[in-house]
């Protein structure tokens, strides 16, 4: 049994986000809009020992099966995350996250004077201009920025 299994038990059904960069678990939950209000069990483990990453965070969301469109949103802050879909205790799907070409109403432009940050009823649209290393651009004010400017 690995150290990790000792700190977080296995789940029956749901989604496990594994290999999340250390310290990013809460930001990942925020980006996924997971706040526990739907009543499902959500377990967060931080600073778990990992052979690949040294230390990592793990999130287990019970009874929800997150789609790639949802989990890809976390690729900017947790690019090495593994998404495991669990059904009846078995890992039935394992995928990596991939930075989407466009973020609609997921990220906000860091330019405080951008029209998308005003009271106008418009969507926040951010385009990915380069994936590795990531470079982003606001559709409205055309400001270029790095992921760390969002955090």
58 binds ligand CTP (CB under 6 A): yes
The residue range among 4-12, 33-41, 65-73, 132-140 that interacts with Zn ion, by the rule CB under 5 A, is: 132-140
Q: How many helices (H) and strands (E) does the chain have?
A: 3, 9
| Cα pseudo-dihedral 120, 124, 125, 127, rounded to 10 | 130
Say how many residues touch Zn ion, by CB under 5 A: 6
Which residue number, 16 or 31, has a Cβ lying nearer to ligand CTP? 16
Cβ-proximal residues to 5 (8 Å cutoff; 6+ apart), any chain: none
* Interactions with Zn ion, residue window 71-110 (CB under 5 A): 109
Position among 58, 77, 99, 138 found at the interface with Zn ion (CB under 5 A): 138
Q: Tokens 């949103």 map to which residue?
A: 73
Residue 138 binds which entry of ligand CTP, Zn ion, none, CB below 5-8 Å type-dependent: Zn ion
Query: What residues line the site for ligand CTP (CB under 6 A)?
Result: 4-5, 10-11, 16, 18, 58, 60, 82, 84, 86, 89, 91
């Amino acid at each position: 049994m690995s150290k990790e299994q000792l700190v977080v038990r296995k789940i029956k059904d749901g989604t496990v986000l594994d290999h999340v960069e250390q310290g990013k678990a809460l930001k990942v939950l925020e980006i996924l809009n997971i706040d526990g209000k739907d009543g499902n069990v959500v377990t967060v483990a931080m600073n778990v020992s990992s052979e690949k990453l040294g230390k990592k965070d793990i999130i287990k969301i019970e009874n929800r099966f997150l789609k790639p469109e949802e989990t890809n949103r976390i690729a900017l802050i947790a690019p090495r995350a593994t998404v495991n879909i669990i059904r009846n205790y078995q890992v039935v799907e394992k995928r990596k996250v991939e930075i989407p070409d466009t973020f609609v109403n997921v990220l906000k432009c860091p330019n405080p004077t951008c029209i998308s940050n005003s009271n106008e009823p418009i969507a926040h649209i951010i385009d990915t201009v380069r994936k590795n290393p990531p470079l982003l651009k606001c559709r409205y004010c055309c400001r270029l920025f790095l992921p760390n400017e969002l955090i």
